[in-house]
Amino acid sequence: MNEKKDRTEGPVVLFDGVCNFCEGSVRFIIDRDPKGTFRFASLQSAFAHERLPKHGYDPEVLSSVVLIENDRLYAKSGSALRIVRRLRFPWPLLRGLMIVPPFLRNFVYDFIARNRYKWFGKKEECMVPTPEIRKRFLG
């Protein structure tokens, strides 16, 4: 396989690149994903702007961590719970929250998403990953 194909295989996490909370979430995932399963791109990236419309989402209005896995898009609490199942123990235990109805999970998710800039702040530009994890980021 060529290197470009290898970089885009597997699940991709799309995140708000200027949100401090979202950047912290990406670092959390990276630190607990020793196999390097996840790839990352900001919602502001060309990668996101190309992929999201194919799934019926507008990248300009989406305020959620998004997971694209097996050509399916998961957003809000569904994406978060699908992500934790692949992290190092004990985080997969949170997958049990799937029994909570989505409207309740997403109510909490949306509340945090609406307040993330106020509570955690935002930056003028996307995070710059270290050279060792840069290969996991897509343009």
User: Would the pLDDT of 73 be above 80?
Assistant: yes
Averaged pLDDT score across all residues of the chain: 85
pLDDT at 5: 39
Q: Choose between 123 and 94: higher pLDDT.
A: 94
Delimit the domains of the chain by residue range: 11-134
Residue 30 — φ and ψ, nearest 5°? -60, -45
Residue bearing tokens 């509340």:
111
pLDDT at 61: 73
d(CA 132, CA 33): 14
Q: Torsion angle, CA of 20/22/26/31, rounded to 10 degrees?
A: 60
